[in-house]
Amino acid sequence: MVSQLNPRERILMGPGPSTVPHRIRQALSAPTLGHLDPQYIGYMDETCQLMRNVFQTSNPLTFPVSGTGMAGMEAVVVNLVEPGDEVIVCVNGVFGARMKDNMLRAGANVHTLEVPWGKSFSKEQIAECIEQHPASKLLGIVQAETSTGALQDLTGLGQICHDAGMLLAVDAVTSLGGHDLQVDAWGIDAVYSGTQKCLSCPPGLSPVSFSPRAIEKMDARKTKVQSWYLDVSMLKNYYTGGGGRAYHHTAPINMIYALREALAIVLEEGLEARFARHRELHLKLRAGLEALGLCYVPDNSLATLNCVALPAGVDEAAIRGRLLNEFDIEIGAGLGEFAGKAWRIGLMGHTATHRNVTLLLAALKECLP
Amino acid sequence: MVSQLNPRERILMGPGPSTVPHRIRQALSAPTLGHLDPQYIGYMDETCQLMRNVFQTSNPLTFPVSGTGMAGMEAVVVNLVEPGDEVIVCVNGVFGARMKDNMLRAGANVHTLEVPWGKSFSKEQIAECIEQHPASKLLGIVQAETSTGALQDLTGLGQICHDAGMLLAVDAVTSLGGHDLQVDAWGIDAVYSGTQKCLSCPPGLSPVSFSPRAIEKMDARKTKVQSWYLDVSMLKNYYTGGGGRAYHHTAPINMIYALREALAIVLEEGLEARFARHRELHLKLRAGLEALGLCYVPDNSLATLNCVALPAGVDEAAIRGRLLNEFDIEIGAGLGEFAGKAWRIGLMGHTATHRNVTLLLAALKECLP
C-alpha cells in the first residue's frame, strides 16, 4: 500500500538537521517505555543531568520541551512574558525576528534593537538600548543566527541585564554543542536549543534551561501562561520531580532516548575538544571555499554555520541540486534577506569531519563553473 | 559516562503509549533526511495522504502537528478561537476539562456542558445547550475520554452544529485507529489525535485535520494566532505545498517516518477489521476481568480503554508494581476524579492481541488477593 521506507544516506551540511550517527538512531529505536515507568523516569533524569552539563549550568529546571527548537523559543517567551511587559529583542536575522514575533503574540511591548543582517551586537549598543528603555523586563538575543552565520558574544550581557533588573533570554539553537555556551557563568536566565543541530540528534525536541531568577519571575505571574502545552508551572512537576511526577502530557519517549545518547556523545568527546573541532573544521572549510573563489558574508563568525555569498552568474539551485543528486550532500539556500544571495553550509556535530569538508570542497569544485 | 540504554520490553497496556512494533521502530531509525529534501517531502506527502485515509476525510489540510496529542488540542483551539468567541465545551473527564482550559487561555467565553464522569452526552443535551447559547461558534467534544473509558457517539453532531452556524471540534486521541471515526461523513470540522495510542507509534506527533469550513473561519480571523509554533496559517504552506513549501520549523523527520509506517500498518489491516479486532479483544478482556470479580466503571463503552473499579481492600499500586516488575506489563492508574479508584487498561493497536489479553488476565489472577 505504501512503498518501503528507504531514505538516502545524505551528508547533511545545511543549516540543520545535521547527519545523525548510527548510535543515536539505534537509541531512537529502542523499545518504548511508558512515560511514568520508573526505568523511563531514570533515563529522563539522566537526560536532564546530561543537558545541564552541556549547558554548563546547575539550573534544576533544565529539560527537553516536547517540540522542535521553535517550541523552545515559544516556551521561553510565553512563560517569561506577561501581556504588557516591556522587553527588548535584538534582531539581526530571521531568528531574532521570530523571537520578536513570539513576544508580540504573547502581548509584550517590544523594543527592537537592530543591526544589519550578518552583524552582531556590541555590549555598548545593548547597554544604551537598556538605558533608553529602563522599564524593560527581559532582553532576548540570538547567540548563533542561523540565517546569517553571526556569532553573538554573550559575555558580560548577564551582568548588564541583571544590573538593570532584567532577565537575559538566549537562542542557542545552532550553538549548543558546537560553540561555548556557559549558561551559569554568563548569567543567562533562559535558554533554548534544538536537537538537530550540533547535537546531531533528529529534530523534535528543544533543550531548555531556566535560572532561579527566571523561576522567580514565573512564580510571580499574575496571568496564566497562554499556552497550556508549554506551561512550565505544570511541566516542572513532571521533569523535576515536584508533585510526584504529575502527568502533564505523554513525553516523546524514543526521542528522549536519542537525546540522551546524543548528549552522552558530546560529553564523551568533551566540550572543549568539541568546540575546537568545530573551529578547526570551519577554518579548513573557509580556506577551501576561499580558494574556490567563494566569499563569506561579512562578519560570519560562526563555525557551525558558514554563510557564503553566491558567486556571480551561477544557477545556485542547480548547483545545490547536483550536490544532492550526484553526491548526496545537502547544503542550505539563503533565508530571509539572504534568499537567493547566499548558501548556508552547516558544520554541526557528527557532520563536522575532515572527510566531509574535503568531500564538499572537491564536489563543489566539480559543480562550480 | 552514561549507562547503556537498555529499556525493558514492556507490554504497554496502560492509557498510552501502546506497545510499538519492531517495524515502526525500525522506520524511526532510518537515516535522517533534511526537511526540504525532495525525498522527505515525498514521504511527508504520503504520510498526510495515509492520515486522510485513516481519518476518513478528503480534507487537504491534514497533517501531523510537531508535538504530542496535547499540542494537537492546542493547535485546534488557538487557530479556531479568537478572544471573546463564545464556545461550548463538553466535559465528562480530564480531557474535556483540558480542552476547556485551552479555550480559556485562548480568550474564549466558554459555556460548559457537563455530565458525571464516565457518562457520555446525548444529542438532546447538546442540542439544548446550543439553543441556550445561540451565539456560540464552536462545540468541542471528546470522542474517547481516556480518563473514564467513555465513548461519545458523534453521529448527527456535525449537522446539529452546522445548522446552528457552529464548528465541531473533536478530540480523537484514544480513538483514531481503534474506533470508527468518519471525519467527513460525520461533519467534523477539526480533529486531533496522538500517535502513541491506537496507531502504536511512539509519542511525539499529533495528527490533525481541518475541514474547508474550519479554514474559512481561520482565514477570516481578525487577530493573529497566539501561538507562533502552532499557527496553521504558516504551517499549511509547508504541509500542503502552498507558497513553495515555505520553511516554518524543522519537521521531526524520523517521527514522520514512524508515523508513515504506523498508518500503513493500519490500512494494511483495514479500518473495519481493525475496529472489529479492538472490539473483540475488549469483549474477551471484559469477560475475563468480570470473571475475576472486577467491575467496569458504569457506562465504559470504549474498547481501547478499559476502566475498572478497584477491588475493595487491595493495594492497587502494589499490584501494578507486581505486574510491571514480575510480568513486564504496564497498566494505568486512575486519573483525576478516578485517581485511587480505578485502573485503566489499554487495548490499543499493536497491544490488542489475544496473547496479551490472556497473559494479563492470568497475571492479574496471580496478583489479586
Q: Is the peptide bond before B17 cis (omega within 30 degrees of 0)?
A: yes
Position A348 pLDDT exceeds 60: yes
**B327 contacts on A by Cβ (under 8 Å):** none
pLDDT top residue among B240 and A204: A204
Rg of chain A over Cα atoms, rounded to whole angstroms, equals 21
Q: Are B27 and A5 an interchain contact pair (Cβ–Cβ within 8 Å)?
A: yes
- CA atoms of A61 and A211, how far apart (whole Å): 7
Q: Tell me: pLDDT of A244 over 70.
A: no
Search chain B and give the residue with CA nearest A50. B2
The 3-state DSSP class for residue A147 equals: coil
Cα gap B40→B62, rounded to integer Å: 17
In chain B, CATH 3.90.1150.10 sits at: 11-16+271-367
pLDDT at A243 over 70: no
User: Do residues A248 and A235 touch, judged by C-beta distance below 8 A?
Assistant: yes
Q: Which of A68, A194, A228 sits opposite B102 (nearest CB)?
A: A228
- Cα separation, B158 vs B145, in Å, equals 19
Is the distance from CB of B80 to CB of B167 less than 8 angstroms? yes
Task: Please answer yes or no on whether B66 and A69 come within 8 Å at the CB atom.
Answer: no
Query: Which grid cell sits at B276?
Result: 472489529
Q: Spell out the residues 6+ positions from residue A269 whose beta carbon is closer than 8 angstroms to its own.
A: A277
| pLDDT(A302) > 80 | yes
The domain made up of B22-267 has a fold known as Aspartate Aminotransferase; domain 2 (3.40.640)
CA pair distance A206, B186, nearest whole angstrom: 37
Q: Which residue carries 486531533 as its cell?
A: B192
Classify strands B329-333 and B11-13 as parallel, antiparallel or unpaired.
parallel
**What is the share, in percent, of chain A residues with pLDDT greater than 70?**
99
- What is d(CA B282, CA B269) in angstroms, rounded to the nearest whole number? 18
pLDDT, position B1:
67
Least confident of A174-188, A319-333, B295-309: B295-309
Helix axes A354-367 and A271-291, enclosed angle (nearest 10): 20
The residues that bridge with B296 in the sheet, in sequence order, are B308
User: Which region, left, alpha or beta, applies to residue A237 given φ > 0 means left and ψ of -120 to 50 means alpha?
Assistant: alpha
In chain B, what residues touch A30 (CB-CB under 8 Å)? Answer: 5-7, 25
Distance CA B88, CA B110 (A): 6
pLDDT range class, residue A242, cuts 50, 70, 90: low
Check residue A58 and give its pLDDT: 98
CA B289 to chain centre: 25
- What is the band of B156 on the pLDDT scale with cuts at 50, 70, 90? very high
Residue in A79, A78, A57, A61 with CA at minimum distance from that of residue A219: A79
* Mean pLDDT calculated for residue range B97-107: 98
In B, minimum Cα distance to A37 occurs at B330
Q: In chain A, where does the domain assigned CATH 3.40.640.10 lie?
A: 22-267
Q: Please indicate whether, in this complex, the C-beta atoms of B7 and A39 are within 8 angstroms of each other.
A: yes
For A10, the closest of B37, B102, B228 (CB atoms) is B37
In 10 A of CB A355, how many CB atoms? 8
B329-332 long-range contacts (CB < 8 A, ≥24 apart) are: B329/B10, B329/B11, B329/B13, B329/B359, B329/B360, B329/B363, B330/A34, B330/A37, B330/B10, B330/B11, B330/B12, B330/B13, B330/B14, B331/B13, B331/B14, B331/B360, B332/B14, B332/B15
Q: What is the pLDDT of residues B29-81, one digit of tens each?
A: 999 999 999 999 999 999 999 999 999 999 999 999 999 999 999 999 999 99
Query: The cell 514492556 sits on which residue?
Result: B10
Q: Cβ distance A290 to A311 under 8 Å? A: no
Distance CA B3, CA B252 (A): 26
Q: Is B208 helix (H, G, I), strand (E, B) or coil?
A: strand
Q: Among A8, A10, A68, select the one facing B66 at the smallest CB separation.
A: A68
End-to-end CA distance of chain A: 43
Helices first, then strands: H and E counts in chain A: 12, 14
In this model, does residue B243 exceed pLDDT 60?
no
What's the rounded mean pLDDT across residues A288-298? 94
Cell of A278: 568545530
The reported pLDDT for the residue numbered A36 is: 94
Residue A214 buriedness (CB in 10 A; 0-12 / 13-18 / 19+): buried
Query: Is the pLDDT reported for residue A30 higher than 60?
Result: yes
Assess whether pLDDT exceeds 60 at residue B18: yes
Q: Pick from A134, A12, A185: which is nearest to B31 by CA? A: A12
Sheet-wide strand order for B138-142: B62-65, B206-210, B190-192, B167-171, B138-142, B86-91, B109-114
Distance from CA of B233 to the nearest CA of A (A): 14
CATH number of B11-16+271-367: 3.90.1150.10
Size of interface A-B (CB pairs under 8 A): 232
d(CA B190, CA B221): 16
Instruction: Give residue A62's pLDDT.
Output: 98
Question: What's the distance, CA A158 to chain centroid?
Answer: 19
pLDDT of residue A1: 67
Give the C-alpha separation, A308 to A331, whole Å. Answer: 11
pLDDT band per the 50, 70, 90 thresholds, residue A124: very high
In angstroms, what separates the C-alpha of B159 from chain A's closest C-alpha? 30
- Write out chain B residues lying below 8 Å of A70, CB-based: 228-229, 248-250
